[in-house]
Structures are given as structure tokens and as C-alpha cells.
Structure 1
């Protein structure tokens, strides 16, 4: 071996650099809340416990009122509703639902068919609400039930938002201005009247209380499941 060859250091094999592009951002990621510090977890736990407690209280009140009325059930357009301490039970297809309002009582709230079809045509919905409601616990139940009922009955995923920033609810701010044909909005609006109206790709549920919002939610789901027109 010559001196030139002896002093020559071996070279490591070159590696081919591969550029990996980050995955495209899902459109639904824009509705996810911003990451918060860990201390917020305790606040979320308290909110959940408050919602569960309120749910038990409200269902107990509804059950007490219901037991003083008709307990045999009612028939409505081919659907049989059975009254229980938790509310009105009905089976639609293979799914069972519990509502706080029977369909005859819900008939007093008008709901346009075009609003129903607009919501049913989408795979995603954002449910947003005013945090100025006095009984937010009842409104929380309305939002959570809406998400569960539309998911199990129609395969629609419901995301949550708030109409204005609030430290108790670390959710993205969503209003009717954010509604699109692909992702419409259901807006629980604090008002001195009870009604349901459509505003573009947004369905507004105006209610003076959280309990009234529960009734409007029932009317909306009745329409989307085809129980009511």
C-alpha cells in the first residue's frame, strides 16, 4: 500500500435526502379549540360534573311532572312514545331516542323543511351558543344531546363552538357568519322569544331559557329524523 493510499480516509456513503411534505390540514381542524395549559383540565372536569348534575336534576323534574300526567304513552304518526322518568322514549329504525318534549307539544314551534334538508345534506355541523343564558347547564345538555342524536341517527358529526369568547368554555368562536354549505351552523341564541328560523346556512334556535332551548332542540331533531314535518 502506498503512502497516498494509506493517508486517504474512507468516506461514508452519501444518503439521499427526502423531502417530506406535512399532511394537508383538515378543514375541521379550524373548529378545534386552541391548546390550553394543563391547569384548564380541572376546569373542564368541573364543567362536566356540573353538566351531569344538571342533567340529573332536569330529568328528575321532567320525570316528576310527567308522572303526574299521562304515563301510558302516545302514538304520533306511526311512532309510539313511552313516557319515563327520563323523558319520552321512541324507536326510529334500530335506534332509540329520549326526548324531553313530546311531539304534540313540539308542534307549536315552526320549522321550515328547507332548513331541515340543508342540515341533513351535510356531514358536519357546528353547534354554537350564547354564553349569556342564565341556565347554561340545560343548554349544555341540549348541545350534547344534539350531537349524540344526529350522530347515531344520521351519521352527522357535530362540533361545538361559542358565539363569543368565554373563559369557562375554551371553544372556537363560531357565528352564523362562519356557516357554509359544507359546514352549516346551529346557533342557540339567547332571546326573549322562542322560535326557529333559517339565516342562510345557519339555523337559529332562539330561546329565553336553557330549558326552552331543549324543547327547540327536540323539535329540530324530530324534523331531521322524519318524525315531524
Structure 2
């Protein structure tokens, strides 16, 4: 059978600062050295970008509603991606957000982030664990190593009940290498051609999920 290996790591941290706050869609933001802190219903969240800098990135209709209503979802990226550590960190940010949502609203939403393994191909039939760690300020992240007999979760694994969110780097040499979010067959793909673009598209999805940037729900 297929065994899904996943790791869920979450933490909440407090921040102290004296910067002058500003508001966006009635949400208070305070600028700090590492980005922006938003005071949300789930607590204080640290973002790398301000919503006014990423609101121009379009989120297709149905993306936010699908993620909010799904009780289970999967996050993934290509383990051979040149920015795999950053993509793993973006996935962790989403994991942390869902955990905070679960705690605040007493929900039991599950997020799986990892790979699938066909246990029938392993003589020992033992579970292989993948460990990953991340601090609350998004540093010191350890990318999990992928055993040779495993395959990455991909868009083909998406279903109406379990959507897949995939992060990927777009080759700069491709003519249409733009930062965007697409939604096809229950798979949401976040693309960026640079590290900064990937961070922006990752924050854009979080802002939409939180309702800080309002998107189409149909």
C-alpha cells in the first residue's frame, strides 16, 4: 500500500517592537527587521512582505474557498528544485498558520507535507521517518532528505477532497516565467522565478487564506 510520510511542526512566538503601526483592510501591521507583523484573529503573524506589495498577484477563483473548506490538504515541491530549502520553508509557514487556526477555532484540519512510499517495495516493511525542524522566526530550517525509493506528492495526487498545494521555481529562460498562482484539477501551484518572487507568492496565498487580501470565493 501507499504510506504517506509527513511532519507537522508548529510554534508561536511573541515580538517586541516600537515601530509605528499601519493598517491594511482593518488589520494592524508593524514593520520589524525581518518583515511585517500582522495582528490577526489567530495571533501575531510574521510576513516577509506587506500585503500592498503582493495584492497585484492574482489568486484564481475557488482557491481560497477550497483551502478553507478542505479538512485535509497536501503541500509539496520538487526535491530537485534549486530553491528546495526555501520552498520547504514556505510550506512550513502554511503548516504553522493552519495549526494556529485549529487552536483558535477548535478545528482538526490536517496538512500533510512530505512524500509517498510504496511499502511493498521495501523488504523490511518498516516506516521511514523524515525529520524537519524550523524555528518560529523562519530560520535554521533543515530540508528533509528523500529516500531513493520514494516519490514526491504531485498534482496527480490531488482530489476534490484532498487538494495539493505545490511550490515551484520557474526557469528564468522561459518566456512566460512570471510569478503566479494557478488552480487546475484540485491542484494549486505557486510559481516564482527568484527567491524574492517565491516569498511574495507564498505570502500572497497566506494573505488570501486569512482574508486580509479579499479574493473571489466562487
Paired with 2:194 and 2:81, the residues of 1 have a C-alpha distance of 6
Displacement, 1:94?
A: 4.2
- The answer to whether the 8 Å contact 1:131/1:162 transfers is no
Q: Scaled by the length of structure 1, what TM-score is found? A: 0.63
Paired with 2:167 and 2:54, the residues of 1 have a C-alpha distance of 17
The match for 1:107 is 55
Q: Which runs of 5+ in 2 are unaligned?
A: 7-18, 117-143, 171-176
Larger radius of gyration: 1
The match for 1:6 is none
Greater share of residues in strand: 2
Greater share of residues in helix: 1
What aligned pairs does 1:179-190 form with structure 2 within 5 A after superposition?
179-190=158-169
Runs of 4+ in 1 over 4 A off after TM superposition: none
Which of 1 and 2 has higher RCO (CA within 8 Å, sep 6+)?
Answer: 2
Does 1:83 pair with 2:31? yes
Displacement, 1:125?
A: 1.2
Displacement, 1:129?
A: 0.5
Q: 2:183 aligns with which of 186, 198, 201?
A: 198
- The answer to whether the 8 Å contact 1:205/1:216 transfers is yes
Displacement, 1:209?
A: 3.0
Paired with 1:108 and 1:73, the residues of 2 have a C-alpha distance of 22
Does 1:117 pair with 2:90? no
Displacement, 1:113?
A: 3.6
Determine helix, strand or coil for the equivalent of 1:151: helix
Q: Scaled by the length of structure 2, what TM-score is found? A: 0.66
Q: CA RMSD in A?
A: 2.7
What aligned pairs does 1:155-194 form with structure 2 within 5 A after superposition?
155=107, 156-161=109-114, 168-170=145-147, 172-191=151-170, 192-194=177-179
